[in-house]
């Protein structure tokens, strides 16, 4: 059980629900009475399952493709260490995919009550999420090995999670909800980029072409600076658009905290510092999301 819990990579899970919380907070602000708690909770469970599925697939796929080896920095992966066999991980990926599809479909039934066009569209979006989680590092042509992982993470864990949750709860959409969704997408991509910065040297040797491999370590840090700046800009714009002074103040407070936390990133960080910042970034992104929730839900 300990090996499976480690393979789930618990430190990545808080960020996986940030988009759901963000979409739920905006929906609650728009119409508190219409908020369906069952749908909201099922969306959180679905997001957690997708993240676990992605972590299992990443563990297996990086091992099979050679990116996980004895020269890799960071925590030793389950399949590489032999703690979990290849066959057991493959079975876990299949089972997690089935459970995710079941929970996600249940979510849609609670949200839409019957099978209509919107239900079908969401069902295929859910299938796309599952496929994207698996194909990131698995298969003959994993998109994560072509520098495309950042795009998929931004779209699925940012835009789809936040905007999708908002629509599930209200059955309507507003252009302003894309600003906080962009924030979550940027945080999710920032975590991925930190991981890729930490593994830069080994990825270059093994042929895993990530963004840092393409643009180099210095370029990767500049890119990362942009990623962690976007959420503050996007949420500030959302606060100004909605004339929400509390949210604007909380965003400013979170910016001060972020400067203190991420300061080591700009001093030629070691692999150990980058690995430590991974957990801090995921947790800070959740704090950022909770502050957004407070700023949105406690303003009339």
pLDDT tier at 100 (50, 70, 90 boundaries)?
very high
Least confident among 80-89, 170-179, 265-274 = 265-274
The 10 Å Cβ neighbour count of residue 234 is 20
d(CA 236, CA 156): 22
d(CA 270, CA 30): 45
Residues 6+ apart with CB under 8 A from 4: 78, 84, 92
Least confident among 2-16, 55-69, 118-132 = 55-69
Tokens of 178: 């894309």
Tokens of 239: 């606060």
> For the residues 281-300, what does the mean pLDDT come to?
88
pLDDT of res. 70:
62
Is the CB of residue 206 less than 8 Å from the CB of residue 196? no
d(CA 238, CA 242): 6
DSSP per-residue letters across 106-136 = HHHHHHHSS--HHHHHHHHHHHHHHHHHHHT
Token pair 């480690």 is found at: 6
Q: Where are the alpha helices (DSSP H) in the chain?
A: 2-7, 13-16, 18-30, 37-65, 78-81, 86-112, 117-135, 149-153, 161-170, 178-198, 200-206, 211-241, 245-262, 271-297
pLDDT tier at 43 (50, 70, 90 boundaries)?
very high
pLDDT of res. 71:
57
> For the residues 254-280, what does the mean pLDDT come to?
82
Could you report the per-residue pLDDT of 234-249, keeping only the tens digit for each? 999 999 998 999 999 9
Instruction: Give me the chain's average pLDDT, please.
Output: 87
Could you report the per-residue pLDDT of 125-167, keeping only the tens digit for each? 999 999 988 888 887 778 878 888 899 889 988 999 999 999 9
Token pair 């009475």 is found at: 33
Classify residue 247 by burial, with Cβ atoms within 10 Å: 0-12, 13-18, 19+.
Answer: buried
Question: What percent of the chain clears pLDDT 90, i.e. is strictly above it?
Answer: 46
| pLDDT exceeds 80 at position 4 | yes
Tokens of 206: 């093994």
Is the CB of residue 163 less than 8 Å from the CB of residue 125? no
pLDDT of res. 109:
93
Q: Please, what are the domains in the chain?
A: 2-297 (1.10.600)
Which of 102, 123, 12, 98 has the alpha carbon at shortest distance from 58?
A: 12
pLDDT of res. 229:
94
pLDDT of res. 20:
95
Could you report the per-residue pLDDT of 198-234, keeping only the tens digit for each? 888 888 887 888 898 899 888 988 999 999 999 999 9
Query: Within 13 Å and on the Cβ side, how many CA atoms surround 72?
Result: 19
pLDDT of res. 53:
93
pLDDT of res. 297:
87
| Angular region, 210: left φ>0, alpha ψ -120 to 50, beta rest | beta
Classify residue 74 by burial, with Cβ atoms within 10 Å: 0-12, 13-18, 19+.
Answer: middle
Which of 129, 49, 127, 59 has the alpha carbon at shortest distance from 90?
A: 59
Q: What pTM, to 2 d.p., does this model score?
A: 0.88
> For the residues 168-190, what does the mean pLDDT come to?
92
Classify residue 7 by burial, with Cβ atoms within 10 Å: 0-12, 13-18, 19+.
Answer: buried
pLDDT of res. 66:
66
């Amino acid at each position: 059980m300990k090996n499976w819990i480690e393979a789930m990579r618990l430190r990545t899970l808080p960020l996986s629900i940030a988009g759901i919380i963000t979409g739920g907070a905006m929906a609650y602000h728009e119409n508190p009475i219409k908020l369906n708690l069952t749908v909201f909770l099922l969306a959180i469970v679905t997001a957690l399952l997708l993240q676990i599925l992605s972590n299992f697939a990443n563990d297996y796929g990086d091992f099979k493709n050679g990116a996980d080896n004895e020269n890799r920095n960071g925590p030793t992966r389950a399949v590489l260490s032999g703690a979990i066999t290849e066959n057991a991980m493959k079975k876990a990926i299949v089972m997690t995919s089935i459970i995710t599809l079941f929970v996600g479909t249940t979510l849609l039934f609670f949200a839409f009550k019957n099978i209509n066009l919107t239900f079908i569209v969401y069902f295929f979006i859910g299938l796309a999420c599952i496929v994207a989680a698996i194909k990131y590092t698995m298969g003959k042509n994993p998109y994560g090995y072509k520098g495309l992982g950042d795009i998929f993470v931004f779209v699925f864990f940012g835009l789809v999670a936040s905007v999708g949750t908002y629509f599930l709860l209200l059955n309507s959409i507003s252009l302003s909800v894309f600003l906080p969704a962009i924030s979550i997408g940027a945080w999710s991509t920032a975590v991925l980029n930190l991981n890729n910065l930490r593994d830069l040297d080994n990825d270059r040797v093994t042929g895993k072409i990530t963004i840092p491999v393409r643009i180099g370590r210095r370029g990767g840090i500049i890119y990362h600076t942009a990623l962690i700046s976007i959420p503050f800009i996007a949420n500030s714009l959302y606060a100004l658009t909605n004339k929400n002074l509390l949210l604007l103040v909380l965003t400013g407070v979170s910016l001060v905290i972020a400067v203190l936390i991420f300061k080591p990133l700009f001093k030629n960080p070691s692999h150990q510092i980058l690995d430590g910042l991974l957990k801090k970034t995921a947790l800070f992104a959740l704090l950022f999301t909770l502050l957004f929730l407070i700023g949105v839900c406690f303003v009339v």
